[in-house]
Chain A
Amino acid sequence: MKKRYAWMLAGALAGAAAALIQSFTGAQVMEALLHPFTLFGNLLRGWSLSGAAGNAAAWAVLIALSLLPVIYILLARRKRKQAGDWLFLLTGAIIFGGLFLLINPTLYVHPALTEALHYAPELLTGGPVFMMLSALLLSVVVRWSGGLMGMKKAESRLIFWTQAILTFSMTLIVFSSAYSLTDGLRAAFFPGGNTVSANLFAAESVSGMGADASSDALSAWMNSQYSDNSPLAAMSSPASRETSALIGLILTAITLIPNIFSVCMLDAASSLVSSIGRGFFSEETDGCASVLAVRARYTMIASVGSMAAENALTVLLAQWIANWNMSFSLPLDDLLLSCGAMLLARLLSAACKVKRDNDLMI
């Protein structure tokens, strides 16, 4: 089995497991993932409140962790200076701020929000953690993206990272889809759970998550963690819980269709990247480009078709959906991605033809 398929299988199983765990045990998956960071913040807070020595130790850890990017740059400067290096200094400051907020989370949210316990762990821990992670990611991208773009030697690295990002995206889409499908099925056929999905409004909101999964799987998945907390949730329609859940499942299934095509398209893109690694204008690359073009076209059709069906069905079935938090959208990002893939495939095919002709010039 190819590595990326193993990752996708693991993603699907993890998504289904996350949905079931969340539905039947009441555990918040996001909260569980963030738990080590919450513990770390609590540990440092405990130290800082324990006395002068503990406080000094907490500050020492805080400063040491904040200086990590700076230390890296000082070591890296010996080899080669890069334009994006200054960003690592800023990242150090952001890490400092993030860790400080992790220790004192109530500094950045309204005190009233901390009373809503359901929000608290994700918001209080997730806010600083994601702030630090995104700053780190920005530094990494700024530092290495330029090198990947122009250097001859970096070609293999570019291929490696492109494949890594493609595999990550596929895994995330599969995870998100498996999560929403499992949750939708459970809510429709086993409505006795006691958590997010058991909520009267969950199934439909989960279907909305499926719609977004192909473009922004992670944020959509995270949003679904809070989907049952809408203040409008109390204003339930006369619809029965079972009907609402069943409609939610249908909408979920419809919105998951583009995900299947998206994964197939990314799979073709991954094969294409591999073949480029073996030879830019080979026969294999030409074949992979043709497969990519076909899959990109189907992804485009599936994406627009699914969105049209979902929007129409949402309007038609609105009165039976016990969720006021509905949304309508256009899959512009899917369209752009598919168009880009088709254009790349066309360009590669044309280049392969030129190469073939050129090879027959003696």
Chain B
Amino acid sequence: MGIRINLDEILKARGMTSKQLCEKVGITEANMSVLRSGKAKGVRFHTLNRICYYLECDVGDILFFDGELNEEDGDEES
């Protein structure tokens, strides 16, 4: 995986649903699902900023490195 998302646990800890977070951050539930499943190619600073603000946490609480190198998401041309 490489970079993992820890959003579910933070949401649980804050007692907030995914739908509520979507409304506050301003992204669709489909995009939130992509983010939570780890299929996202990237997260904009703007989105990250709002998630951290509304969940009252640090970036490191949401994203963490699992020690593996993920080749799948690399540039297909290279």
Contacts and interface: CB of A to CB of B under 8 A. Distances in A.
Interface in A306-358: 353, 357
Contacts of A360: 34, 39-42
A361 B39 contact: no
Given A361-B40, A362-B27, 15 more contacts: A353-B76, A360-B34, A360-B39, A360-B41, A360-B42, A361-B41, A361-B42, A361-B43, A361-B44, A362-B31, A362-B32, A362-B34, A362-B40, A362-B43, A362-B47
A10 to B, nearest CB: 44
B55 interface: no
Contacts of A362: 27, 31-32, 34-35, 40, 42-44, 47
Category for how many chain A residues contact B = under 10
Nearest to B32: A362
A182 to B, nearest CB: 49
For chain A, what secondary structure do more than half of its interface residues adopt (helix, strand, loop), or is it mixed? mixed
A361 B41 CA distance: 6
Of the candidates A357, A360, A361, A362, the one having the most CB atoms from chain B within 10 angstroms of its own CB is: A362
Contacts, number: 22
A357 B39 CA distance: 11
A170 to B, nearest CB: 34
Contacts of B47: 362
A48 B42 CA distance: 80
A357 B73 CA distance: 10
B48 to A, nearest CB: 9
A232 to B, nearest CB: 57
Contacts of B41: 357, 360-361
Interface string A24-62: 000000000000000000000000000000000000000
Contacts of A361: 40-44
A175 B43 CA distance: 56
Nearest to A357: B41
Nearest to B51: A362
Interface string B33-69: 0110001111110010000000000000000000000
Contacts of B40: 360-362
Interface string A161-205: 000000000000000000000000000000000000000000000
7 contacts: A360-B34, A361-B41, A361-B43, A362-B31, A362-B43, A362-B44, A362-B47
A49 to B, nearest CB: 75
A61 B44 CA distance: 70
B8 to A, nearest CB: 15
Of B39, B40, B41, most buried by chain A (CB within 10 Å of CB) is B41
A361 B35 CA distance: 9
A289 B44 CA distance: 30
B55 to A, nearest CB: 15
A71 B40 CA distance: 60
A360 B35 CA distance: 9
B32 to A, nearest CB: 8
A353 B77 CA distance: 11
Contacts of B44: 361-362
